[in-house]
Amino acid sequence: MSDPEAGAVTRAQEAEDASPAVADRSAHLRGAENAVLRSDELFAGYVPGVNILNGCDLYVGEGELIGIIGPNGAGKSTLLKSMFGLVEVRTGSVTLKGENITNLKAHALVERGVGYVPQTNNVFPSLSIEENLEMGAYHAPKKFKERFEFVAELFPALKERRKQRAGSLSGGERQMVAMARALMTEPSVLLLDEPSAGLSPKLQDQVFIRAQQINRAGVTVVMVEQNARRCLQICDRGYVLDQGRNAYTASGRDLINDPKVIELYLGTLARA
């Protein structure tokens, strides 16, 4: 009988042997010198003494769209949450525009220009669309009209239906409200956690289109995604995580065509 734990170790070892990012951090250190947001050797977890992240590195340059993919349990969402102050970083650091923001609370990061859209529970269902967006602009209410017009260009349907209760919206529509609300804070960096999860293929495609539009509007985007193939198609660079470590990092185009990445992480999805 095969040992699944042994198989997981073998897979991680194969990735480590094949990936210079694990053995040598010099490429990360060079690329991260002028990064807008970076994490260095992050160790973090939810239970005392148990780490989900085991030395993760990541950097994103101004105007980039970065994708984070990997198998279930790899630490993708934990990495995003640790950068946004929702999971305690035990060792390592997170830096925003040269300022150490490790373990700062989420509201302090919003004030510094970091937006975050969680995978679930990402709207106030009892409030209207407009009221949800007002909540997004709570720290600068005088800018509400200006920011509302900005998000209405990206999400025209929200303007037309601004009085509709968010709880009556479909999953895809709620995701659009959540993204729009995060943009009301005028972030320079937007963190998206599994934005296409649970959506139909058609609605998933709309989410990826909106992510690109947000990026082209001048917002740096970091996106965790289970739809690895589609994510790599649109991102400038991608990170593949496995067991809380960097397994591969390269341009989205290179990763989606890398035979080893296909074999270990993408499977038939990347060949479609």
Contacts of 205 (CB under 8 A, 6+ apart): 230
pLDDT recorded at residue 120: 84
Question: What is the rounded CA–CA span in Å between residue 93 and residue 231?
Answer: 26
Q: Would residue 44 count as lying in a domain?
A: no
CATH code for the domain of 114: 3.40.50.300
Number of domains comprising the chain: 1
pLDDT, tens digit, 9 for 90 and up, residues 199-249: 888 889 999 999 999 999 999 999 999 999 999 999 999 999 999 999 999
Q: Would residue 250 count as lying in a domain?
A: yes
pLDDT, tens digit, 9 for 90 and up, residues 71-126: 999 999 999 999 999 999 999 999 999 999 999 999 999 999 999 999 888 999 99
Q: Would residue 167 count as lying in a domain?
A: yes
Q: Would residue 75 count as lying in a domain?
A: yes
Record the pTM.
0.87
Q: Would residue 7 count as lying in a domain?
A: no
Classified as helix, coil or strand, 270 is helix
pLDDT, tens digit, 9 for 90 and up, residues 159-200: 899 999 999 998 889 999 999 999 999 999 999 999 998 888
The boundaries of the domain holding residue 230 are 63-85+103-271
Q: Would residue 4 count as lying in a domain?
A: no
Residue closest to 237 by CA, chosen among 54, 42, 11, 27: 27
Classified as helix, coil or strand, 131 is helix
Q: Would residue 179 count as lying in a domain?
A: yes
Which residue carries 């290179």 as its tokens? 254
Q: Would residue 92 count as lying in a domain?
A: no
